[in-house]
Structure 1
Amino acid sequence: MGRFFSFFYVSLVVFLQISSVAHAQTIKPKLQTAFQQFITDPSLESGLASFSVLNAKTGELVFEGNSKIGLPTASTLKVITSITALELLGPNYTFPTHLYYTGEIDSLGVLHGDIIIEGSGDPTLGSDRYPEHSSNVLLNTWKESIKKLGIKQINGKIIADDHLSNGFDVPGTWTWTDIGNYYGAGFSALNWKENKLGANFEPTKIGQTANLISTNADSSFQLINEVTTGAAGSGDQVYAYSAPYAHVIYFRGSYGLDLKKTIEYSMPDPAAKLIYDLSASLWQDSIQVLDALKTFKTLQDENPNYQIPKQKNLILTVQSPKLIDIIHWFNQKSINLYGEAILKVIGKISANKMESQEAANMMAKFWQNKLKIPISMMKVYDGSGLSPQNRVTSIAMAKIMQYARTRPWFTDFYKGLPTINGTAMKSGTITATLGYTGYQKAADSQEYTFSLLVNNYQGSSSTMRQNMFKLLNSLK
């Protein structure tokens, strides 16, 4: 009986190997034909496509077309940032935010000192995507913890300690058109409400100024509205123009006649907004703050020798959601802020380097060491893909995606990928660039890992997407 099963097992293995080889011989010409049709389409006459396909079970190369040519990634870069972080930090990593007080509390409940919030870069602080981490919940938690100490008045400051990132930081390779908008919100050690604000417009006559009717920005900002009313169906073409610490924000573009949408734009100083909101929450319970609301950055601007007091008392520590839960929304909704927060942690633990370019270099070096991917195949400048200067090869991206399949956290990572065209994959879109990377299970149960990047295509993005889906359908 033992000999029979041994013979059966060996025969089964041989059969599967032969079947795999036979399938590879079948799929390769199929992909070759599909890719050739794809790259000879007039839409790519002046463009370029890079396509890599791996056997997901063995990691063997199934097909490559221009696989070693670096192209802009757009948001497909997010999977590389995600996988790197999961590998280095683990899926249960959290960002702590500490609440402290300095000085003494007298018998009347007066704090003769400051309240300090110290951030470590939690990108979810105050985000409504996590009910237990929403702004209302956190503000109430902080307020109640202060009240439990018997504090009824603060004879000092509320300080937002954002020293970890030296204030509010935006990658230098991001464009002026992007950084004023919600998707171009930069990074702070104290991010707040995903670093975005909202504005509501009321359309008038086509071509005339659309009225700015409300915003949740405070009165310290000068909002200049140059938005016109667009034709019905023209949608949201509104762009905000500002920069870190700006006090003037321009709204330009057009707002469709039939549009009903809140326009989201980036906060110029999230840490300052956080302590403003905390102060307002304390005032609701008659807890007065007699001194100023200051960020560490502004205190150092006023006095370069200023340092946060070493003697401070911990009131409360709030932990972010787990990294795997942050990565879920990072990939599902392509939140660029999350990528920059994660990248900076990667840089910090790798070489104590939190500047975006340095941290991105660390990420590339990690994969050079881990998978022997040459640095020339991963020239990256941020963690989210918003930089148009990023250049990654499809084979590098596919190999990293394939590596993820071998890790214990892969199932949760996979669940976080959007389902597009019936496939679990991450998309990426910036000007004249589209990309998809993911996993495909074919009808015959073969499984593939793939990356497809396209740059400088002509025509509409919707038409190019359909062409890309047609090519990827060859894997089904």
Structure 2
Amino acid sequence: MKYLTTLVFGLLLFTHAALAQGLAQKIENAFEAFEREPNMKYGIASITVLNGNTGEVMYAKNEGTGLATASTMKAITTATAYSIMGSNYKYETSLRYSGTIDGAGVLNGNVIIQGTGDPSLGSENFDETKPEDILAQWVAAIKRAGIKKINGSVIGDDILFNGHMAPSGWTWIDMGQYYGSGVSSLNWRENKFKIILSGKGRVGDPAPLQRTDPDKPYLKIINEVTIGKPGTGDRVYAFSAPYSSFIVLRGTYASDLNKQIEISVPDGALDAAWSLQAALEKEGVSVEEPANTAFLMKSEGETIPLETTLLDRYFSPTLSQICYWFMKRSINLYGEALLKTAALQEGSEPETSEATDWEKEFWSELIGEGEGALKIKDGSGLSPESRVTTMAMAKILLHAKKQNWFGSYYENMPTYNNMKMKSGTIGGVLGYTGYHTAPDGTPLVFSFLINNHMGGSQPMRLKMFKMLDALK
């Protein structure tokens, strides 16, 4: 009987090993075929597939070569945020005032919106973060305090992250677009807004700016967009920089197009302060001075008074809820806010360069890979300077699989090609990283990156999906 049991156990081990070898060979064959694709003639591809239970390398090729990640970087940033803050973490934004309120309801001081980095404040993605509801809550709190007039101004306190910044690796062409919005410790409506253009007229004529949504009277918008040929779509680009008071619009807007275009706000904290001031004045509460921010005041040698009184406390959705939209919609702003918040909580400076240095050290120690395998330049992957190896990325996902927050992390991963994985796309770069279960029940962790491919992104995605089908 003992001999029979040993024999059966041995056969099971042999069968499992044979299946594992068969899967590895299948992946190898598919990857080698992918490398021979004409679109990869001048490119490079890297893949790492790990056993999700043991960490054993099932297959890897070019796994030690650092490649641009595009938005697959968000899988790393999310794991970082979960590790430091936990899935139930909430940001707090407080509404305060300085000075005193006299008997006539006049505030001789300022109303202050004190931010701690919440990237979802005023976002349309959540029921509880709608901008009109938050503004109504703040106006009501100000009125409850008996304030009928403000002799000072509404100030956005964005000083925790040292102001509104875009990572140094971001490009000029990206920063003015909605996906290139910079981050501060006070963000508002994801630091973006809509422009509505008209394509009525002849090709080559100016495309008039009809309005913005919401209104932005404090910004000067220089519109140089012209009407494009039918079928050419949206080729409009916005050019602005942090703290800019004007935005330049260039490009073409097709004559048959009917689309609202989103662009970034140069200063989200100032936009939040201006929005609250407008809401107050609409409700009959006058504000004497223009909206301002703590960072802009600092540049003038001024500071917010230390003595303030609390009016209202607002709490964000949980980190898990924020990361759902961060992963699903690949919102770059969220990545930068999460990275800075995690770094700050661990005692690092919230500057992007300091935060990424801390993050590289954090993960290098946990996964046993050198810092050269994690040349991280931002939290979102928008920087073309970031370089990460697929081995390092796969090991981070393997580490996440063993944590008590993994269920939330896994659920927030998008699904593509019937596989749980985060995608990434930027000029000449495509990537997928995530989890899958092999036909024999083996859990797999993988990272697959390509750089400098030829041709369009969509045909290459389909080729990548075909290669990843080898894991099924």
- Which among 19, 22, 28 is matched to residue 23 of structure 1? 19
Give 1:226's aligned residue: 224
Where in structure 2 are there 5+ consecutive unaligned residues? none
Work out the CA distance in 2 between the residues paired with 1:15 and 1:409. 36
1:313-328 to 2 correspondence within 5 Å? 313-328=309-324
Specify whether residues 424 and 291 from structure 1 end up closer, same or farther in structure 2 by C-alpha distance, changes over 3 A only.
Answer: same
Contact 2:374 2:387 in 1 (8 A): yes
User: Which SS does the other structure have where 2:247 is aligned?
Assistant: strand
Q: Return the alpha-carbon distance in structure 2 between the equivalents of residues 155 and 14 of structure 1.
A: 84
Instruction: Return the letter of the residue paired with 1:453.
Output: L
| Distance change in 2, residues 1:12/1:281 (3 Å) | farther
2:190 maps to: 194
CA contact (8 A) 1:180 1:243 kept: yes
Is 1:134 aligned to residue 130 of structure 2?
A: yes
TM-score (norm 2): 0.95
Do structure 1's residue 356 and structure 2's residue 364 form an aligned pair? no
Q: Decide which of 84, 96, 99 is 1:100's aligned counterpart.
A: 96
RMSD across aligned C-alpha pairs, in angstroms?
1.8
Indicate the percent of aligned positions where both proteins have the same amino acid.
43
| CA–CA separation in structure 1 for the residues paired with 2:404 and 2:383 | 31
The reply to whether residue 179 of structure 1 matches residue 187 of structure 2 is no
Name the amino acid aligned to 1:54.
L
In structure 1, how many angstroms separate the alpha carbons of the residues matched to 2:40 and 2:312? 56
Q: Distance in 2 between matches of 1:201 and 1:352?
A: 43
Cα offset, 1:12, TM superposition: 7.8
Q: 1:13 to 1:123 in 2, by over 3 A?
A: farther
2:428 pairs with 1:435: no
Partner of 1:72: 68
Any residues of structure 2 matched to 1:151-300 within 5 Å, and which?
151-203=147-199, 204-216=201-213, 217-300=215-298
For 1:394, which of 390, 395, 401 is the aligned residue?
390
Letter in 2 for 1:395: M
1:329 aligns with 2:325: yes
State the SS of the aligned residue for 2:346: helix
Q: Which secondary structure does the structure 2 equivalent of 1:351 belong to?
A: coil
Contact 2:367 2:392 in 1 (8 A): no
Instruction: Give the aligned partner of residue 374 of structure 1.
Output: 370
Correspondent of 1:150 among 142, 146, 149 = 146
How far, CA to CA, are the matches of 1:41 and 1:32 in structure 2? 15
1:54 matched residue in structure 2: 50
Query: What TM-score do the two structures reach when normalised by structure 1?
Result: 0.95
| Kept in 2: contact 1:78–1:385 (CA 8 A) | yes
Q: Residues 107 and 11 from structure 1, CA distance in 2 versus in 1: closer, same or farther, beyond 3 angstroms?
A: farther
* AA in 2 matched with 1:347: A
Q: Which amino acid aligns with 1:120?
A: T
Structure 1 residue 272 displacement after superposition: 1.1
Report the Cα offset of residue 52 of structure 1: 0.6
Deviation at 1:257, TM superposition (A): 3.0
Deviations, residues 243-285 of structure 1 (Å, cap 9, x unaligned):
0111221112222333221111110111111111111111122
State the Cα distance separating 1:390 from its structure 2 match. Answer: 0.3
Report if aligned partners of 1:351, 1:362 keep a CA contact under 8 Å in 2: no
Alpha-carbon distance in structure 2 between the residues aligned to 1:13 and 1:184: 57
Q: Give distance in 2, aligned partners of 1:314 and 1:225.
A: 42
Number of aligned residue pairs: give it.
Answer: 469
Change (3 A) 1:251 1:105: same
> Which range is displaced more, 201-210 or 372-381?
201-210
CA deviation after TM superposition for structure 1 residue 288, in Å: 1.2
Aligned to 1:301: 299
User: 1:347: which partner in 2?
Assistant: 343
AA aligned to 2:123 is: S
Deviations 1:107-134 (A, max 9, x none): 2222222211111111001001111111
Is 164-173 or 100-109 further displaced after alignment? 100-109
Q: How many angstroms apart in 1 are the aligned matches of 2:461 and 2:338?
A: 29
Greater shift, 19-28 or 463-472, is seen at 19-28
Judge conservation of contact 2:348–2:358 (CA < 8 Å) in 1: no
The 1:16–1:171 alpha-carbon spacing in structure 2 relative to 1, beyond 3 Å, is: farther
Matched-pair contact (CA < 8 Å) for 1:190–1:270: yes
User: Which of 420, 424, 436 is the equivalent residue of 1:424?
Assistant: 420
Matched to 1:94, the amino acid is K
**Counterpart of 1:233 in structure 2: which amino acid?**
G
Equivalent AA in structure 2 for residue 246 of structure 1: S
Question: Is the contact between residue 159 and residue 295 of structure 1 (CA under 8 Å) also seen in structure 2?
Answer: yes
How far apart are the structure 2 equivalents of 1:19 and 1:214?
67
Q: Please, which runs of 5 or more residues in structure 1 have no aligned partner? A: none
The residue identity in structure 1 corresponding to 2:109 is G
Question: Using the alignment, how far apart are the partners of 2:230 and 2:35 within structure 1?
Answer: 36
Task: Give the Cα separation in 2 of the matches to 1:95 and 1:365.
Answer: 25
